[in-house]
Amino acid sequence: MAVIRDVIPVFELYQPASIDDAIKLLDKHGTDAWVLAGGLDSMDWLKDRIKRPKVVVDLSQIRELKGVREAGGGIEIGAMTPLTEIVKHPVVREKYSLLMEAAELVASPQIRNQGTIGGNVSQDTRCWYYRGGWTCYRAGGNVCYADTPTALNREHAIFDADRCVAVNPSDTAPALVALDAQMVIRGPKGERVINAENYWIGPGIDITRMNVLAPNELLTAIRIPSTMAGAQFYFEKVRDRQVWDFPLVNVASAIKTNGATIGEVRLVVNAVAATPRRLKNVEASVTGKPRNEETADMAGRMAVEGAEPLRHNGYKIPLMRNLVKRAIRGAGATSTT
- Per residue in 41-75, pLDDT tens? 998 899 888 899 999 999 999 999 999 999 999 99
Domain assignment of residue 317, yes or no: yes
Beta bridge partners of 182: 195, 223
pLDDT for the residue numbered 336? 35
Average of per-residue pLDDT across 223-249: 96
- Name the residue among 180, 184, 136, 192 with its Cα closest to residue 161: 136
Q: Give Cα separations from 158 to 132, 165, 307 (angstroms).
A: 22, 8, 5
pLDDT of residue 118: 98
Structural domains of the chain, count: 1
* Residue 170 domain flag: yes
Against a cut of 0.75, is the pTM above it?
A: yes
- Give Cα 21 distance to the centre of its chain: 27
Q: Can you give the CATH number for the domain in which 140 is found?
A: 3.30.465.10
Look at residue 48 in the predicted model and tell me its pLDDT.
83
What is the mean predicted confidence (pLDDT) over 129-142? 95
pLDDT higher than 60, residue 82: yes
> Average of pLDDT values for 228-236?
97
Query: How much is the pLDDT for 174?
Result: 98
Give, for 250, the enclosing helix (H) or strand (E). Answer: strand 249-258
**Given pLDDT bands bounded at 50, 70 and 90, which one contains residue 9?**
confident
Q: Which pLDDT score is estimated for 2?
A: 52
State yes or no: pLDDT of 106 exceeds 60.
yes
What does the buried/exposed string (b/e) look like for 80-105 if buried means 16 or more CB atoms within 10 Å of the residue's CB? bbbbbbbbebeebeebbbbbbbbbbb
Residue 207's SS3 state is: coil
Q: Is 204 inside any structural domain? A: yes
- How confident is the model over 282-323, as pLDDT tens digits? 999 999 999 999 999 999 999 999 999 999 999 999 999 999
- Going by C-beta distance under 8 Å and a sequence separation of 6 or more, which residues neighbour residue 332? none
Residue 1 domain flag? no
3-state DSSP percent of the chain in helix, strand and coil, to 5: 30, 20, 45
Summarize pLDDT for 159-174 with one digit per residue, the tens. 999 999 999 999 999 9
Rounded to the nearest integer, the mean pLDDT of the chain is 95
Contact 78, 220 (CB under 8 A): yes
Give mean pLDDT, residues 100-121: 97
Residue 8: the pLDDT is: 87
- DSSP H or E segment with residue 224: strand 218-224
| CA distances (Å), origin 221, targets 29, 172, 182, 258 | 23, 14, 9, 33
Residue 4 has pLDDT above 70, yes or no: no
pLDDT tens figures, 177-220 = 999 999 999 999 999 999 999 999 999 999 999 999 999 999 99
95 backbone dihedrals φ, ψ, rounded to 5° = -110, -25
Please report, for residues 30, 180, 194, 273, the alpha-carbon distance to residue 225 in angstroms, rounded to integers and kept in the order given: 33, 7, 13, 26
pLDDT value at residue 334: 37
Count CA atoms closer than 13 A to 92's CA, side-chain side.
Answer: 25
- The single-letter DSSP state of residue 100 is H
Name the residue range of residue 220's domain.
Answer: 66-329
**Per-residue pLDDT, 5:** 57
Checking if the pLDDT of 332 tops 70, the result is no
| Residue 252 located in a structural domain | yes
Share above pLDDT 70 across residues of the chain, in percent, rounded to a whole number: 96
CA nearest neighbour of 267 among 246, 291, 243, 244:
291
